[in-house]
Chain A
Amino acid sequence: MHLTKKEKNMLEGCEGRGIQRAMEVLSALGKIYNAERLIPVESVQVSGVSFKNLGDAGLEFLEDWAETGVKARVKAFLNPAGMDLMDWRKLGFPEKFAVKQLRLIDVFKGMGLEPQCTCTPYLAGNKPELGEHVAWSESSAVSYANSVLGARTNRESSISALSSALTGLTPEYGLHLDVNRRADYVVDVRPSIRSASDYSALGYMVGKRVGGRIPYFRGLFNPSPDQLKSLGAAMAASGSVAMYHVENVTPEANPDSIKKDTPVLEIEDLAEGYRELNSKTRVIDLVSIGCPHASMEELEEISSLLEGEKVKTALWITTSRYVKQKAEGSGLLDRIQDSGAVVVSDTCMVVAPVEELGFKSMATDSGKMAFYVPSHCGLRVRFGSLRQCINSALSGRWEP
C-alpha cells in the first residue's frame, strides 16, 4: 500500500505511540485487503461501547490507548452503550455494571469522541451525503449509509473505526470502490410488504440466504426510510449484508448495478421469517421497540397507538439522546410516557444486560432484536407488528 510522507511518519511513531498504533492497524488492514492507499473519511462511528461486550479486557486496552494522549481528528460518534447513561439507576441497572460502563464512556470522551451512543447516527446529526467516505462499524448503520444514503463504508470493527477516528483515514478497499458496490444477488419480492416488521421478516430471510453479498430488490414499492432501516438491520444480523439496492428507490440502484449471471431469489411469502423469529411464549414481561433506534416519525406512531391507554407490562422504546431531546421539546415524550411506557436512550436491548434486569420474555417488532436476544440475553421472544407489540404491552400477553 502506498503511504504519503506524512502517513509514513505517523506509522513510524513521529506523532506518538498512540497514532503509531492506529496507523499499524490501518496499514495491516490495507495489506490484508490489497488497498492501494489510505483515504480521508468525513466521520466515524465506533462500535464496542457496551461494557457487556467489551469486558475488562476492552476497558483496560482503551484506557491504555487513551493514556497516550490521542484525540479524534474527525466527527466520531459511538454505538449504543450497555445502559441509559442518565436514567440507569431508575431503570434498575446494576451499580457494578454502571461504574464500568461510565468509565468506558469517559475514556471515549477523553479521546475526543462524542458521547452520542446510537446505532442511527444518521438520525442524530450525522447524515453523510451521496458519495461521502466514512468509517462506521454498527452493522445496521453501515447498511443504511451505503444503501439508503449512498455514502461509502466497510463494516469496520471497534478498533479499526477507532483508528480511523484518531487519524481521519481508512484503507481504500471494499465498498469504498465503485466496482465492489454492484449487486450479486437479485431478490424478487412477490407479496406486498407493508409494515416495518414485514420488512424485518424479509430482511431476516434474505440475509440468511445471501450471507455477505449485495442483494438487489425488485417488487418493493415506496418503502419509508424507517422501513429500510428495519430491512437493513435484519439482513446485517442474519447475514452480513453491508449494502443492498432497491429498484427505483435507493440512489445507486439501476439495471447496470447488477452483475452478470446473478442468481435470483424469489420470496413468495414471509411465513418463514415470522415462524423462525418467534418462540411460543404467551406471557410478555418486556416490550422493546426502537431497534434500530426510533425516529421522530416512529415515536409519533407509537404515541398515537398509546393514546389514552396504560401499559400493564414494561414497554421500553429505545432511541438516540438526540431524538429523545427533540421529542421532549415538542411534548411527544410526555404523551408517550403518560401511558407508563419509558423512552430509553444511549442503549439498546441487544447490548444491555437485560437478563440481569429480571426479564424473561420479550416482544419486539424488530427482526434484528428478535434474532439476537435469544442467544445474547437468553430471553424468549415474540416478533410481530408494532400494533401487536403495543397490544401485548397493554394486556401483558401475546395475542396472535
Chain B
Amino acid sequence: MGALKEYRARVIRNGFAEGIALKSEEPVSFFGCVNPETGVVVEKGHPLEGESIKDRILVFPEGKGSTVGSYSLYRMKKNNTAPRAIINRLCEPIVAVGAIISDIPCVDNIDISKINSGDRIVIREGYVFVDKDG
C-alpha cells in the first residue's frame, strides 16, 4: 500500500464502496451510452466503448444527455450491471438523482486526474482512497 493517497470529496450519495477504477476523460450518459442489460458502453467513439462499467468505480468529469439517464442507472442497479460507485469532477443533476434513487455511492469536487483506470479505490465518509499499486 505504498502509493495510497487520500482525497476529500463532496458527498452526493453517501455510502461505502470498494473496487477498481474505470475512468473516462469524456462525459457519460447512462441513457443510450450504456447497455443496461450488460453494463457495456455502446456509444460509438466514446473512450470507454466496449468496456463494462459493471461493479467498477466509475470515474468521469460530468454527466450529459437526457434526464431519462437517471432511470437508466436505476435499471442497471436492478439488473446488477451498475457501477459500485461514481466519482465526478462536478456532479450534475442527472447523475446525482440517478445515484440517489439507485443507492449508488457518489462523490464529486475531486481532482480526477489523480485517478487512473485500474487503481484500487475505497470511498468512505467523504474520503476517496486511491491505491496506485492495485
Contact = CB atoms under 8 A, between A and B. Distances in A.
Interface stretch (B16-24, B44-52, B96-104, B117-125): B96-104
A157 B92 CA distance: 12
Interface residues of A, number: 20
Interface stretch (A51-59, A99-107, A219-227, A317-325): A51-59
A54 B10 CA distance: 30
A32 B88 CA distance: 12
A24 interface: yes
A71 interface: no
B13 A57 contact: no
A24 B71 contact: no
A28 interface: yes
A54 B71 contact: yes
Q: DSSP majority for the B interface? A: helix
Interface in A1-57: 21, 24-25, 28-29, 31-32, 48, 53-57
A58 B78 CA distance: 12
A31 B10 CA distance: 9
Contact of A61 (B10, B71, B91, B93): B71
Given A28-B13, A29-B93, A48 B72 contact: no
Given A57-B72, A57-B75, 18 more contacts: A24-B100, A25-B101, A28-B100, A29-B93, A31-B12, A32-B91, A32-B92, A32-B96, A55-B68, A55-B71, A57-B68, A58-B71, A60-B75, A61-B74, A157-B67, A157-B70, A158-B70, A160-B97
Interface of B: 10, 12-13, 36, 67-68, 70-72, 74-75, 78, 91-94, 96-97, 100-101
A130 interface: no
Contacts of B67: 48, 157-159
Nearest to B96: A28
Given A32-B12, A58-B71, A157 B93 contact: yes
A31 B14 CA distance: 13
A55 B36 CA distance: 12
Contacts of A31: 10, 12
Contacts of A56: 75
B101 to A, nearest CB: 6
A56 B72 CA distance: 9
B96 A29 contact: yes
A167 B71 CA distance: 20
Contacts of B78: 60
Contacts of B70: 157-159
B94 A157 contact: yes
A31 B93 CA distance: 10
B46 to A, nearest CB: 20
A57 B101 CA distance: 12
A54 B72 CA distance: 9
Given A28-B12, A29-B93, A31-B12, A159 B101 contact: yes
A60 B13 CA distance: 21
B68 A58 contact: yes
A25 B97 contact: yes
Contacts of B94: 157
Given A28-B12, A28-B13, A21 B71 contact: no
A325 B71 CA distance: 34
Given A48-B68, A157-B67, A61 B97 contact: no
B96 A21 contact: no
A50 to B, nearest CB: 11
A140 B47 CA distance: 35
B8 to A, nearest CB: 15
Contacts of B93: 29, 32, 157, 160
A25 B96 CA distance: 8
Nearest to A57: B75
A254 to B, nearest CB: 32
A56 B68 CA distance: 11
Nearest to B72: A57
A28 B97 contact: yes
Contacts of A28: 12-13, 96-97, 100
A267 B94 CA distance: 34
A159 B13 CA distance: 16
A21 B101 CA distance: 7
Nearest to B78: A60
Contact of A21 (B75, B91, B92, B100): B100
B71 to A, nearest CB: 4
4 closest Cβ contacts across the A-B interface? Answer: A57-B75, A57-B71, A58-B71, A157-B67
14 contacts: A25-B101, A28-B13, A29-B93, A29-B96, A31-B10, A32-B12, A32-B91, A53-B68, A57-B74, A158-B67, A158-B70, A159-B70, A159-B97, A160-B93
